[in-house]
Amino acid sequence: ASDLGALRGSVVLIPRFGANDTERTLFAAILARKNNRAVELPGGKPERGESAYAAAKREAEEELGVPVDVAVVPLGEFLHIYEGRVWLATAFLGDLQGAHPKGGAEGSATWATREELLGGTYGPVVRRILAAYDARKGGGHG
């Protein structure tokens, strides 16, 4: 399958569950300095020769400032257009290893609601990533 010359990116969806209520699940996010502190999922572009998985783990740890456990099997690949360029984002599910996210060079970290993520820089593709997460979860996490 060709990705039609799409630029590649990797993102990590890290849920924090509140009282077994999926409607109140929060997600680890950064307030991106480069985009006026827009709410974004942690992630970025793979370096030369780096797998989507390795990029997702590295970027999430750099941006959140804490160790991240990333599931090897992705939530999916999502084509989207941003600033006139075609991107292929590979989304992974992750967990923070204990600590609260601190943030890094890209911006401070926070726990964000679905609505905050959907209102962020990449809302249209985040909506599809969250739909894939909901379909995968199907009533339980694990």
- Inform me whether the pLDDT recorded for 1 exceeds 50: no
Distances in Å between the Cα of 110 and the Cα atoms of 84, 107, 133 are 28, 10, 20
Other C-beta atoms within 10 Å of 35: how many?
Answer: 15
Decide if pLDDT at 118 tops 70. yes
Query: Distance (Å, rounded) from C-alpha 65 to C-alpha 59?
Result: 10
Summarize pLDDT for 123-139 with one digit per residue, the tens: 999 999 999 999 988 75
- Considering only CA atoms, which of 32, 13, 2, 10 is closest in space to residue 133? 13
Report, as an integer, the average pLDDT of 77-105: 91
- In the predicted model, is pLDDT for residue 75 greater than 80? yes
Residue 142 has pLDDT above 60, yes or no: no
For residues 44 and 55, what is the distance between their CA atoms, to the nearest angstrom? 7
Contact 66, 102 (CB under 8 A): yes
- For 35-46, the pLDDT digits (tens) are 899 999 999 999
Give pTM, 2 decimals. Answer: 0.87
